[in-house]
Each structure stands twice: as structure tokens, then as C-alpha cells.
Amino acid sequence: MKRLVGAAVPLLAALFAFLFGAIMLLAIGANPWDGLVAIVDGAYGDGDALATTAVKAMPLILVGAGITIAFRASVVNIGGEGQIVAGALLSTVVALALPDLPALILIPMVLLAGLIGGGIAGAVPGALKAYASVNEILSTIMLNLVMVQLMNYLLRGPLIDPIEVERGTRIPQTERLSDNAAMPTLIDGTRLHLGVVIAILAAIIAYIVLWRTPLGFRLRAVGHSPEAARAAGIKVKRHVTYALSISGSLGGLAGALLVFGSEGQRMVTDGSSAGFTGSAGFNGIVAALFGALHPLWTIPSAFLFGGLLTGATNMQRVLQVPAALAVALNGLVVIFVISSDPVRSRIDRFLSSRGELNETLKSEKPVDNQEIDA
């Protein structure tokens, strides 16, 4: 019963969102039912659509799992965009430097480079928060801007494809990266690649780390009450830095998987981070919160939200409606579903909850954004 309500309320909310979307569609002269069909069809209609949705969900899972870890330690990470870019850049550098290594060695190396790149991009705001009292919302937003410029600088300068310079076309992209670093495609003829599996595994590992290891315990203790954690002998500052580093490294891994899995084996910039990341740094936050800040629930949540994104692209193509409508619709879904969440928990309470997972969740809810004093 509880599970049923848990699923029914957000679905009802999504329905309301689509009702608003239907009004928008009618207003611009498109058939709302066709719109809904196009979204569902584009997201889950056939194997190809499912593969595309999975590929879209991949970075959301990783960023979402990272967000979960940060939030559990009471740290807000809005720097996903920059961390994805950082991971992608470092992994690209590795692939450019060592193109001839066999796949069995090169693939782990580029993934590790992604983890490290994103980890550094997360460690900086983490350390700044812990040791210099710089609020992480500010530093992560600012670092997003810095990383975009770094990407543009590297891709039009040191890392640019020499052919682009030779021809004078100067398109800001690397040369095609070594095929030895490419994520194997899982099903021929679809875009489904190994990175999706890696992302799911990473989310499971994040869950295990968070709930089954001493490190996870300490992170959550810091999130629950920094004072109590310190009294228990936990090094609070260090763990705040860890939290953002781990969170960032998962984003960085997503960056590497985007380059070597989802996007044609080279890094190219259109001048913005969203062009490369697909705004996964922000959408991952949405996926994590839909998933009630639990790494495992982030996985289905990312598939749902990823489906919405691919479905909206399909609707745009089939009905010839502007992309802007899809963006607005996504916003509505987020607003409605998130507004329904407290309604759901109220019903939950009413039904006297016994579900183990939800109990855990409730008792583990982090103390939001508490400042850490020295």
C-alpha cells in the first residue's frame, strides 16, 4: 500500500504537469495527446529509444549519486557542470598522451583520469569550505564558470586538433581520440555503451560506501551533526573535503564516459558547458532529489528523468514544436513532482510506515546546509 502511494502521488503530479504542458501545446496548435505519445514513444517506445534514454540517464546517475554523498555530509554541490568538464578534460589529455596503450589498460586509465579530474574540481570547493569558510554554493557556481573557460582555452589552444590549425578552420575540438579508449557498445546498432553499466555500478558502490563502510558512517555523522561528529573524534573539515571530492569525482567519471561513450570519441566545445554536459550537472541534482537522496533510488529516478529528456526531444521532432517547450515542460514536471513529495510523505505517515528503506531514509535525512565552525 505504502509503495503504491509512494508511486501514485508523484505520477499524479507528473500528470498535472502534463496537463499544463497540454495547454501549452494546444496554445501553439499541436495535439496534446500526440505530444504525450511522442514523449513516451521517444523515451521507452523501442529498444533504440530505451538505449538513448539509458545513455541520457548515465551522467544523471553519476552526478546524482555524487550529490547524494555530498548532501548526506551536509554539503551542497552545484558544481556538477564544472566537475564533468574537469573529468572529461583530464581523461582526454590521457587518451591524447597514450593513444597506443591496449584497451584493457587505456580504458581504466581514462576512467581513473575522469575520477581524478572531477575529484580535484570537487576538492577545491570542499577544502575552501572546510578550511577557509567559503560557502560551497558560491564556490561551485563560480568554478563552473571557470571550468567552461578552461575547456574553451584548452580546446582552442593546446589540445586542438592540429588539422584544424593547418586548415585554418580552428574548430575548437581535439583530434579523434584513440579507439582503444572507446567504451564498447553493448548492443550493436544502438547507442547503449558500457558506460551505462559503469554508472549503475558506481551508484551501487556509492551506496555501499555510504552505508557499509566507516568512511560512509563518518560522512553521514558529519552531515547529521558536525559538533557531535567532532566530539566523537571525527575530523570534520577533512570529511567535508572528502565529501565534495567524492561527489566531484563521480561527476568527473561522467565526463570521461561522455567523451569516450556517448559523444563521438572527441571533445568539442560550443562555448558553453551545457553543450557538452547536456546540463547533467543540474539535472543530476533533480535526479538525486527525486530519488530521495538515496544512491540506489537515484538510478530509476535518472531513468525517468532521462526518459523525459529524450522523450521531449522526440516530441520536438515529431510535432515540430520548439525545443523551448520541452524545456518548460521539464521545469513543470520538476515543480509538480517535487511539490507532491511532502504530500506523499504525509500520506506515508498516515499509513504508519514500516518499510525499512524509508525508515532509514527518514532517520538519515541530513541537517541541511549547516555551517561548520572551526
Radius of gyration of the chain (CA): 21
Does 52 sit near other proteins (CB under 8 A)? Answer: yes
Does 247 sit near other proteins (CB under 8 A)? Answer: no
Binding residues among 183-222 for other proteins as defined by CB under 8 A:
189, 191
Name which of 59, 129, 128, 116 is nearest 286 in CA terms. 59
As a whole number of angstroms, the distance between CA 301 and CA 308 comes to 11
As a whole number of angstroms, the distance between CA 147 and CA 138 comes to 14
Name which of 192, 236, 210 is nearest 372 in CA terms. 236
Residue type, 188: D
Does 16 sit near other proteins (CB under 8 A)? Answer: no
Residue type, 38: A
Q: Which is nearer to other proteins, 212 or 317 (CB)?
A: 317
Judged by CB under 8 A, the number of residues near other proteins is: 92
Binding residues among 147-176 for other proteins as defined by CB under 8 A:
149-150, 152-153, 155-157, 167-173
- Quote the least distance from Cβ 213 to other proteins, whole Å: 27
Q: Which is nearer to other proteins, 215 or 338 (CB)?
A: 338
Binding residues among 262-291 for other proteins as defined by CB under 8 A:
262-266, 268-272, 274-276, 278-279, 282, 285-286, 289-290
Pick the piece of the chain touching other proteins (CB under 8 A) from 218-226, 259-267, 296-304, 353-361. 259-267
* Contact between residue 96 and residue 157 where contact means Cβ atoms under 8 Å apart: no
Q: Which is nearer to other proteins, 188 or 356 (CB)?
A: 188
Give the CA diameter of the chain. Answer: 70
Name which of 373, 366, 371 is nearest 69 in CA terms. 366
Q: Which is nearer to other proteins, 70 or 101 (CB)?
A: 70
Name which of 78, 101, 104 is nearest 286 in CA terms. 78
Name which of 57, 61, 79, 58 is nearest 243 in CA terms. 79
Does 61 sit near other proteins (CB under 8 A)? Answer: no
Binding test (CB under 8 A) with other proteins, winner from 317, 350, 360, 362: 317
Residues in the chain: 374
Does 322 sit near other proteins (CB under 8 A)? Answer: yes
Does 363 sit near other proteins (CB under 8 A)? Answer: no
Binding test (CB under 8 A) with other proteins, winner from 22, 103, 343, 347: 343
Does 324 sit near other proteins (CB under 8 A)? Answer: yes
Does 301 sit near other proteins (CB under 8 A)? Answer: no
Nine cell digits for residue 337: 513532482
- Give the phi and the psi of residue 133 in degrees, each rounded to 5: 55, 30
Does 320 sit near other proteins (CB under 8 A)? Answer: yes
User: 33 Cβ partners below 8 Å, 6+ apart?
Assistant: none
Does 80 sit near other proteins (CB under 8 A)? Answer: no
Q: Which is nearer to other proteins, 209 or 298 (CB)?
A: 298
Beta bridge partners of 185: 193
